[in-house]
Amino acid sequence: MWFIKLIGKLKFTGFVCFFIFVIFFFGPLLNLLLLAFSGEWQYPDRLPSEWSLTWWTFVLQNDAIISSIWLSFLIATIVTLISLLICIPAAYAFARIQFPLRRFFLFSFLLTNAFPKMGLYVSIAVLFYQLNLMNTFVGIVLIHLINTLMYMTWIPSAAFENVHRSQEESARDVGASPLKVFWHITLPMAKPGIIVASVFTFLSSLNEAEGTFLVGIPDYRTMPVIMYSIIADYPSTAGSVFSVILTLPTILLLVAARKFVGAESFANGFKLK
């Protein structure tokens, strides 16, 4: 009997945890959504007393904002493509070649995320001044790449490691050249991991603000950069409208990716060795 009780207890705790998670995760989102469509909302009312789309029209008719959305997506796409080109070969090398510095290299990717970002960006900015990369498109892409290299190397590398050597060798054995083996066997088997990494890369680039602000101002203003000024200059409703727009692609992409690769592979992408 005691174990039934235990399972019941575990289930209950699980449920409570899930509930807390839902509140913490969806609560602010819901609040944001309500705020975005509200005209007037005063404390202590539970719901807005008046609904309106004023700030939606404001945001969607503002040229600077619209162009920032395009710019953000353009940058995110380019950054994702470039990271794929750079990191897939690197990830494969990390997974297959047992060179001694392997752990150190993987760790160094983590390190870039361990330091305070602003410090890193400022020192990079100094370098960019000398190279005339400040206020350029290339400069922004470069600064985004610093963040994305980690996902793009580490996650696919774990995926490549799950492809066994004998699976590649079998393919050689039946007559495939090394290139064909990579194309027909290794890459498709690592595909879920690569998709997961690409989604993360795309989103991280889409949401990057600090570095973009530092390097891109004044000519290149992406969504998150614009958002700072909107939050500073307009009522909170404008900010929440913009947040919804900013959050939307994240949710859409995650849902799409989940359909594509399945939750299991999502978790596997994190099975780091």
Partner 1 sequence: MSIQLSVEGLSKIYQTGEGVRDISIEVAKGELVTLLGPSGCGKTTVLRSVGGFVDPSEGIIRIGDRDVTNVVPEKRPSAMVFQSYNLWPHMTVYDNLAFSLKLKKKKKSFITERVDWALNLVHLTGSEKKYPSELSGGQQQRIALARALLLEPEVLLLDEPFSALDAKLRHELREELREIQAEQNLTMLFVTHDQEEALSISDRIVVMNRGKIEQVAQPYEIYHKPASLFVAQFIGRMNFIKGYAQPDGIRIDQLIFPNERGLIGEVAVGIRPEDVKLSEGKPSIEAKVAKIMMLGHYVEVTLHTIFGQLKMFIDKNEINTVELGRIVHVTLTRIQSFQDSNENYLERNEAYATI
Interface segment toward partner 1; rule CB under 8 A; list 34-42, 160-168, 201-209, 214-222:
160-168
188 is a site residue for partner 1 (CB under 8 A): yes
Residue among 9, 11, 103, 164 that touches partner 1 (CB under 8 A): 164
CA–CA separation, 243 vs 228, rounded Å?
11
Query: Apex CA 88: angle with CA 86 and CA 94, to 5°?
Result: 105
Query: Is residue 189 at the binding interface for partner 1, with CB under 8 A as the rule?
Result: yes
Residue 175 as a binder of partner 1 (CB under 8 A): the answer is: yes
- SS3 (DSSP) at 62: coil
Q: Is 234 helix (H, G, I), strand (E, B) or coil?
A: coil
Q: Which residues contact 211 (CB under 8 A, 6 or more apart)?
A: 117, 121, 124, 140, 143, 144, 146, 147
CB 220 within 8 A of CB 212: yes
From 109-117, 181-189, 204-212, 265-273, give the range in contact with partner 1 by CB under 8 A. Answer: 181-189
Q: How far is the CB of 265 from partner 1 (least distance, A)?
A: 11
Query: Going residue by residue from 210 to 249, which x/- string records binding to partner 1, judged by CB under 8 A?
Result: ----------------------------------------
Determine the interface stretch with partner 1 among 39-47, 74-82, 139-147, 182-190 (rule: CB under 8 A): 182-190
Element at 39 (helix H, strand E): strand 38-40
Provide the binding-site residues for partner 1, judged by CB under 8 A: 164, 166-167, 169-177, 180, 184-185, 188-189, 191
